[in-house]
Amino acid sequence: MARLLFSEWLGTFFLVTVVIGSGIMADRLADGNIALALLGNTLATGAILVVLILVFASISGAHFNPAVTLVFLIRKEITKAIALYYVLAQVSGGIAGVLIAHIMFDLPLIEVSSTSRTGISQWVAEFIATFGLITTILGCIKSRPDATAYAVGLFITAGYWFTSSTSFANPAVTIARTLTNTFTGIAPLDAIPFIFVQIFSATVAVFVLGWLFDDEKNRVTRNK
């Protein structure tokens, strides 16, 4: 259990450190060019997701995301106790990632973000981003498990650009991003509906994709 939880803590720690750190670096170097700053942030995030999943998947499954953990709980592939501990490890690892990113860039340890990210367009974007992420994970588990790391990294890379919310799709990362008043931050009150939508989307995705990827139903359909 200790190895599982530390794997989730460390993976989420590195994920948030990269998300926030690359956002700060990109913002400083882009000289006001938001598109260029977002591109730098995107490439770093997509790349680290591939690395982290490849490194930690064999230990804890490399969730790094309470929405993903919820999916496997609903699918009865982990217990409620393990799911709870995973979420605690993910959230605490994400917060630690904020602290380290701020230390590296000479910022206050904790800041409260003032970046507004709210409205129906943002919430719909988070629903789509989370649903797409779960589709990527479950689809790869079914057909190409060895490609999961690359597929997740590529989906999030695309999600940064095709969603108006820049594809948070992760309650632990969303919580962590309320504690940084930098390029990747989100105001705490705006984070609440983000997290609700992410959890709702993941729950819907489990049942929709369970039906879509059901082997027995697919065999019946093909034989008709």
For residue 162, the model assigns a pLDDT of 98
pLDDT exceeds cutoff 60 at 127: yes
Contacts of 181 (CB under 8 A, 6+ apart): 111, 112, 113, 114, 115
Q: How many CA atoms lie within 13 A of 82 on its CB side?
A: 19
Give the pLDDT band of residue 220 (cuts 50, 70, 90).
Answer: very low
| Res 116: pLDDT | 97
> Considering only CA atoms, which of 172, 177, 174, 166 is closest in space to residue 194?
174
Mean pLDDT for 187-192 is: 98
Gyration radius of the chain's alpha carbons: 17
Residue 146: DSSP 8-state: G
The structure tokens listed for 223 are 């034989």
pLDDT at 219: 52
pLDDT for residue 122: 97
Residue 82, number of CB atoms within 10 A of its CB: 18
| DSSP character at residue 76 | T
What average pLDDT does the segment 111-122 reach?
97
Residue pLDDT, tens place only, 129-148: 999 999 999 999 999 999 99
Contact between residue 63 and residue 93 where contact means Cβ atoms under 8 Å apart: no
Residue 222, pLDDT > 80, answer no
Cα–Cα distance measured from residue 195 to residue 52, given in angstroms and rounded to the nearest whole number: 23
Region 174-189: what's the mean pLDDT?
A: 98
Q: pLDDT-derived band of residue 217, with 50, 70 and 90 as boundaries?
A: low
CATH number among 1.10.150.120, 1.20.1080.10, 3.90.1310.10, 3.40.50.2300, domain 2-215: 1.20.1080.10
- Report pLDDT digits (tens) over 45-80: 999 999 999 999 999 999 999 999 999 999 999 999
Per-residue pLDDT, 223: 47
- Above 50 in pLDDT, residue 159? yes
pLDDT band at 96 (very low <50, low <70, confident <90, very high): very high
d(CA 146, CA 159): 21
Tell me what the pLDDT averaged over the chain comes to: 95
Side chain identity, residue 163? T
Two structure tokens written together for 151 = 């597929």
Q: Where are the domains of the chain?
A: 2-215
